[in-house]
Amino acid sequence: MEVALVGITGYAGMVLYQLLQNHPNVTKIHIYDHNLNEPTELNTILPIFHDDHTEVLPYEDSDIVNDNQVAFFATPAGVTSKIASDYIEANFPVIDLSGDMRLNQSDYEHWYHKPAASQRDLDQAQYGLAEFELASGHSYIANPGCYATATLLGLAPLIQQHLIELNSIIVDAKSGTSGAGKALSPLTHFTQVNDNLQIYKPNTHQHIPEIVNELQSWDINVSAIQFMTTLIPITRGIMATIYAKAKPGVDGIMIDKAFSQTYNDKPFVHFLGEALPDIKQVVGTNNCDIGAIYNPATNTVTIDSVIDNLLKGAAGQAIQNFNQLFDYPESSGLNLQTFLP
């Protein structure tokens, strides 16, 4: 299969390119860039790919549709909202790693502070949380955000089986610096991030409405969550620590059973019981490792959900959606090993 990759200069795009190179069903990767006027070798644009002479082509939607069978967009917010309609009208398969097609118009403009795609186009996009929203049967997949993936996988069994008080959900999520992207900012300057913890976007992170929308698809009575993000001095990884009050009669055994049943047949989600995971055990993989502890003294459930933000939180889940879209084995191209040590 020949595939298009639009946007390779960001971290998620680079990782996605590496995954596509090793996918058994991908025979050719055509790379496109909106900022180019003429074909340019990849190693000129990104010297890290020093032996790769693949031509990066100027973006042209007709070329993408004519020369490929699917397109991946690893572009910043505000790009695909302007061009999605061309692919939707052509019923051409797209996997979009940006946030442009995850929300309705009003939510997108409120949280992203950019003009939204048409509501007609947004209605055609399928949210692609791969464990629960199957990509097959859809042509435009909105790949979930990294914080949303870790949080939703951590909450799914509790919400779907109605085990917690919905007004008690608190999420304390921490991310490495690659989650902030490559753009320079004072927040990610080495002297600022090193030996430091920084809370950012309090109550304003753009993944909040995405999380709430998916929770509402499982239980319409979810109205809001308390969600906080912290930048930590590591490169890759997210840890979402989730707190909620258990409903009357719910105990640790019921919680353990809910997680075990939910993820028993999900190859990339590992429930570890009360063994709370750390970030390092998932970095380099498409895995989400989850632990859960119930405290009867406070009637509180604590969930620890960890992912690699560039893989399960972006490029890896995009490949998972790609596999579902074209009926490939779910783990194709994703047999990855944890980075050691």
Environment class of 104 (CB within 10 Å of its CB; exposed 0-12, middle 13-18, buried 19+): middle
* Residue keyed to tokens 């190859």: 267
Q: What is the tens place of the pLDDT at every residue in 183-242? A: 878 889 999 999 999 999 999 999 999 999 999 999 999 999 999 999 999 999 999 999
* Residue keyed to tokens 């020369």: 67
My answer on whether 265 and 230 are in the same domain is: yes
pLDDT band (50, 70, 90) for residue 138: confident
> In this structure, what DSSP letter does residue 168 have?
G
Residue 180, pLDDT score: 87
Where is average pLDDT lowest: 24-33, 94-103, 176-185, 216-225? 176-185
My answer on whether 114 and 161 are in the same domain is: no
Mean pLDDT throughout 36-56?
A: 95
My answer on whether 11 and 97 are in the same domain is: yes
My answer on whether 19 and 109 are in the same domain is: yes
* Residue 230 to residue 11: CA distance in whole angstroms: 19
Which CATH number belongs to the domain containing residue 198 in this structure? 3.30.360.10
Q: What is the tens place of the pLDDT at every residue in 98-114? A: 999 999 999 999 999 99
Residue 134, pLDDT score: 85
> Does the residue 336 lie in any domain?
no
My answer on whether 66 and 151 are in the same domain is: no
Structure tokens given for 111: 């949280």
My answer on whether 169 and 140 are in the same domain is: no
Which CATH number belongs to the domain containing residue 8 in this structure? 3.40.50.720
My answer on whether 90 and 213 are in the same domain is: no
Active site residues: 146
My answer on whether 303 and 160 are in the same domain is: yes
> Does the residue 331 lie in any domain?
no
**Residue (of 187, 216, 191) closest to 199 by Cα position:** 187
Residue 183, pLDDT score: 82
> Does the residue 339 lie in any domain?
no
> Does the residue 341 lie in any domain?
no
Mean pLDDT throughout 319-334?
A: 97
> Does the residue 335 lie in any domain?
no
My answer on whether 265 and 116 are in the same domain is: no
Range(s) of the domain holding residue 259: 147-309
Mean pLDDT throughout 79-92?
A: 96
> Does the residue 333 lie in any domain?
no
- Residue spans of beta strands (DSSP E) within the chain: 2-6, 28-33, 40-41, 55-58, 70-73, 94-96, 126-127, 140-142, 170-175, 198-200, 226-231, 238-245, 269-271, 288-295, 300-307
Residue 16, pLDDT score: 98
Residue 135, pLDDT score: 79
> How does the average pLDDT of the chain come out, rounded?
96
Task: Please report, for residues 182, 322, 336, the alpha-carbon distance to residue 27 in angstroms, rounded to integers and kept in the order given.
Answer: 29, 14, 20
Instruction: Give the rounded percent of residues in the chain with a pLDDT score beyond 90.
Output: 96
Summary count for the chain: helices (H), strands (E) = 11, 15
* Residue 149 to residue 288: CA distance in whole angstroms: 9
My answer on whether 169 and 102 are in the same domain is: no
Structure tokens given for 215: 């929770």
My answer on whether 248 and 101 are in the same domain is: no
Mean pLDDT throughout 61-82?
A: 97
Buried-exposed string 30-67: b where 16+ CB fall within 10 A, e elsewhere: bbbbeeeeeebebeebbeebeeeebebbebebeebeee
Give helix 207-218 / helix 146-160 axis angle, nearest 10°. 20
Residue 337: CB atoms within 10 A of its CB come to 7
> Does the residue 217 lie in any domain?
yes
Environment class of 283 (CB within 10 Å of its CB; exposed 0-12, middle 13-18, buried 19+): buried
> Does the residue 86 lie in any domain?
yes
Residue 231: CB atoms within 10 A of its CB come to 21
Q: What is the tens place of the pLDDT at every residue in 248-298? A: 999 999 999 999 999 999 999 999 999 999 999 999 999 999 999 999 999
pLDDT band (50, 70, 90) for residue 341: confident
Residue 136, pLDDT score: 79
My answer on whether 134 and 258 are in the same domain is: no
Structure tokens given for 295: 């405290």
Number of domains in the chain: 2
Q: What is the tens place of the pLDDT at every residue in 9-24? A: 999 999 999 999 999 9
